[in-house]
Amino acid sequence: MESGDGGDGEIEKEEDLEMGELLKDRFRLSVITIAESEVKKQSMEVSETVVACIADLAFKLTEQLAKDVEMFAQHAGRKSVNMEDVILSAHRNAHLMTLLRNFSHELKGKDPQSERKRKKCSKKNDKLLQT
């Protein structure tokens, strides 16, 4: 019997492909569900082929967006993506960029870490006032 080190790698690749296909199918199903819901709200008729094309296009755009933000993070010398990378990905659409910046500021306002920072500062101020 041969012991192949490559066998484990092939199994992992197959699992990754299966997971990718599962993710694609779930994404596609979600887009189709949203599209059908909007069609009903607008009292419109849209063929299943068009809805399927929209789902495929949305998936491809999402894949490209993921690659873009990953490259922006790598270019900045980081291993993880942050909000600025996402905002930068919208540089061709000023309105979307503004919406993303506003959303980012809203999130920062709700960030529990910022509350902790304020509390630490106020504790220091309290100690100074007590002495």
> Any idea what DSSP says for residue 42?
T
Structure tokens that stand for 110 in this block: 């709700």
Domain edges within the chain: 17-76, 90-131
Write the burial class of residue 84 (CB in 10 Å: 0-12 exposed, 13-18 middle, 19+ buried): middle
Is residue 24 within 8 A of residue 59, CB to CB? The reply is yes
Q: Is 77 left (phi over 0), alpha (psi -120 to 50) or beta?
A: left
pTM of the predicted protein model: 0.65
Structure tokens that stand for 76 in this block: 């900045």
pLDDT in tens, the chain (131 residues): 444 555 788 888 888 889 989 999 999 999 999 999 999 999 999 899 999 999 999 999 999 999 999 999 999 999 999 999 999 999 899 999 999 999 999 998 887 665 445 455 555 545 444 44
d(C-alpha 108, C-alpha 84), whole Å: 12
Cα angle, residue 57 at apex, residues 55 and 60 outer, rounded to 5°: 110
